[in-house]
Structure 1
């Protein structure tokens, strides 16, 4: 539990730092002279460069543990943010966003693997994942509005520099407080012939892909509804509204008792409906975004629980593959939105993508494992 508390603290700081950038990246790129299509590529390149990092992260975390990867990822991302404060052209921003995507690709597989190994009971693991979601969402509730306020008050350079220093300090703290021992290499008890494979059925990776694609469209489209400092503030508030909705459902820990695949498919369906409402109606956007946030609070713990069950003793590789398809979706989303912006509603495109992904996802229950990798050595 002590390890979980430390990890939650570091995750809160890291997520606060990262989500505070969302409402300012698009205006920052515009201030550097970037066109809408270029902004889509700038946002997408972050996810594209996640791929090589994800490929390296999976085997590395399984072999060496999570501590060094968490520390190096946060510290390197902080240094890049400090450099980002002094750039003068959109192309420099593109390069730095690509580098940032690579170094932060190690963070999610390392954190999720460490949390999953803190217990060998599926329900407890689900609660740890919900706790991860609560921390993530709590930080994202206030960070977009806080980031927008800081940049409106002090400018882009001071904001990026401060966020970079905070990430570096968090990475150094993580190195000295997280466990140094490697995770247990004991194999998990087999589930059945299908689920004992080291790589889960690829159809189960469709949900993180379509969800990331839809979110990428949202992150691109929402800040473009206006311009100027007032728009930055309002965009930050809208992102915070989404996070408040997610926090509501993440706090409902009893949901972890239900089948992950059922929670996941129900959440995707409701998220698709929210994007449809965003595409069709211009009013009640705050209510719709709040409802969209509640679907995220259902989806992400369910998705983590599903991959814990499917991953067995290969949690690092499994979460790495999840991060890979998430990165591809996050790349495709804003790029697609940039290409169709002004011709076709990106929100309606997100609705179609989610519904197609839902239709192709296996709609059957996943059996609970007899046991999962022991956590006692990792804790």
Structure 2
């Protein structure tokens, strides 16, 4: 439990740092003279360069544990932000964002694998995943408005420098606080379990399930692209930060309902995807509904969905090969985050990008089986 608390603190600082950039990057790129299409590529390239990092991360985390890769991601990302503070041309920002996407590709699968390895009980693992979601959401509630506030007082350069030093400091804290023996023990436990059960090289579930994180990330990429560009790009940074915080507040509500972990993960995933789809349809078509109400509801669906998705993959994998399982999940989300903003930038003059997100989410929902036939016989049921 002590290790989980340390990890939650590092994750909070890291997520706070990263989410503080969301309302800042688009106005910063515009100030450099970037066009909306270029901004879509800038946001997408970050996700695209996640892919080689995710491919490398899976086997390395299973082999060596998570500690060294958490430290590497945090520290390297901080150094890149320090360099980003001195950017003067759009292509320089594009290059640094691509490098940042690669180094941060190790962080999410390493953290999720470490948390999942702390317990073998499915309900406890679900609570750890919910804790991960709560920390992520708390950071994202505060950080967008905080990032906008820092920009208003310190400018773009001062903001990136502050966030960069915070990430470097977090990396050093992880170096001195995460014990080496834990990461090694967790990795050895997973390897021993895989060897004992003679698991095949292939994952014990269909790869089509990774369409779920792909569609979710794609829809999120569209959302993160569109919100700063509302009102023809004239919306203030502060109002944009507040809207992002509203989403996180909604997610925090459902993440705090820990009793939801007692319900089967595939049921929660289906309900979460349906909720997201309805919210994106409302963004595309329901002009009479206040945007804050829609975004708060969207946050509710996200808070239900994300821990359920992690629990689903843990359950289907049987607790082994978690590094590969979560690295593939990160790959699917990276692809979705790459496709989302680029599609929004290319097609926003033809059709509402929110409607594209709605169609994708509904398609994924229709592809899901009514019940999880691939799960082990011990499915978690509500008490």
TM-score (norm 1): 0.94
Segment of structure 1 superposing worse, 117-126 or 277-286: 277-286
**Are the aligned partners of 2:74 and 2:104 in contact in 1 as well (CA < 8 Å)?**
yes
Partner of 1:299: 305
Partner of 1:149: 149
Pairing partner for 1:314 from 313, 321, 328:
321
Q: Give me the whole-angstrom Cα distance separating, in 2, the residues matched to 1:262 and 1:190.
A: 31
Pairing partner for 2:265 from 260, 263, 279:
260
**Are the aligned partners of 1:216 and 1:333 in contact in 2 as well (CA < 8 Å)?**
yes
Deviations 1:220-268 (A, max 9, x none): 0000014789610000000000000000000011111111111001110
Query: How many positions carry a matched residue from both structures?
Result: 370
Partner of 2:366: 359
Q: CA deviation at 1:196?
A: 9.6
Partner of 1:235: 240
**Are the aligned partners of 2:82 and 2:165 in contact in 1 as well (CA < 8 Å)?**
yes
Structure 1 residue ranges (4+ consecutive) displaced by more than 4 angstroms after TM superposition: 188-191, 227-230, 368-371
Pairing partner for 1:187 from 180, 193, 217:
193
Partner of 1:375: none
Determine whether 1:288 maps to 2:316: no
Q: CA deviation at 1:364?
A: 1.4
Q: Which runs of 5+ in 1 are unaligned?
A: 372-379
Q: Give me the whole-angstrom Cα distance separating, in 1, the residues matched to 2:233 and 2:283.
A: 22
Q: Give me the whole-angstrom Cα distance separating, in 2, the residues matched to 1:281 and 1:207.
A: 25
**Are the aligned partners of 1:126 and 1:256 in contact in 2 as well (CA < 8 Å)?**
yes
Partner of 1:111: 111
Q: CA deviation at 1:288?
A: 0.4
**Are the aligned partners of 1:51 and 1:328 in contact in 2 as well (CA < 8 Å)?**
yes
Partner of 2:175: 175
**1:307-346 → structure 2 map (5 Å cutoff):** 307-311=313-317, 312-346=319-353
**1:15-34 → structure 2 map (5 Å cutoff):** 15-34=15-34
TM-score (norm 2): 0.93
Using a 3 Å threshold, how does the CA distance of structure 1 residues 227 and 338 change in structure 2: closer, same or farther? closer
**Are the aligned partners of 2:127 and 2:261 in contact in 1 as well (CA < 8 Å)?**
yes
Segment of structure 1 superposing worse, 9-18 or 197-206: 197-206
Segment of structure 1 superposing worse, 119-128 or 227-236: 227-236
Pairing partner for 1:217 from 207, 213, 222:
222
**Are the aligned partners of 1:212 and 1:326 in contact in 2 as well (CA < 8 Å)?**
yes
Deviations 1:95-136 (A, max 9, x none): 000000000000000000000001110000000000000000
**1:33-52 → structure 2 map (5 Å cutoff):** 33-52=33-52
Q: CA deviation at 1:57?
A: 0.4
**Are the aligned partners of 1:22 and 1:144 in contact in 2 as well (CA < 8 Å)?**
yes
Partner of 1:374: none
Q: Give me the whole-angstrom Cα distance separating, in 1, the residues matched to 2:11 and 2:171.
A: 10
Q: Give me the whole-angstrom Cα distance separating, in 2, the residues matched to 1:144 and 1:137.
A: 11
Q: Give me the whole-angstrom Cα distance separating, in 1, the residues matched to 2:234 and 2:13.
A: 25
Determine whether 1:245 maps to 2:250: yes
Q: Give me the whole-angstrom Cα distance separating, in 2, the residues matched to 1:41 and 1:324.
A: 18
Q: CA deviation at 1:197?
A: 4.8
Q: Give me the whole-angstrom Cα distance separating, in 2, the residues matched to 1:362 and 1:180.
A: 41
Q: Which runs of 5+ in 2 are unaligned?
A: none
Q: Give me the whole-angstrom Cα distance separating, in 1, the residues matched to 2:378 and 2:80.
A: 44
**1:93-108 → structure 2 map (5 Å cutoff):** 93-108=93-108
Q: Which is richer in helix?
A: 2
Q: Give me the whole-angstrom Cα distance separating, in 1, the residues matched to 2:128 and 2:10.
A: 15
Q: Give me the whole-angstrom Cα distance separating, in 2, the residues matched to 1:65 and 1:2.
A: 18
* RMSD of aligned residue pairs (Cα, Å): 2.0
Pairing partner for 2:355 from 348, 351, 355:
348
Deviations 1:286-330 (A, max 9, x none): 000000000000100100001111223100000000000100000
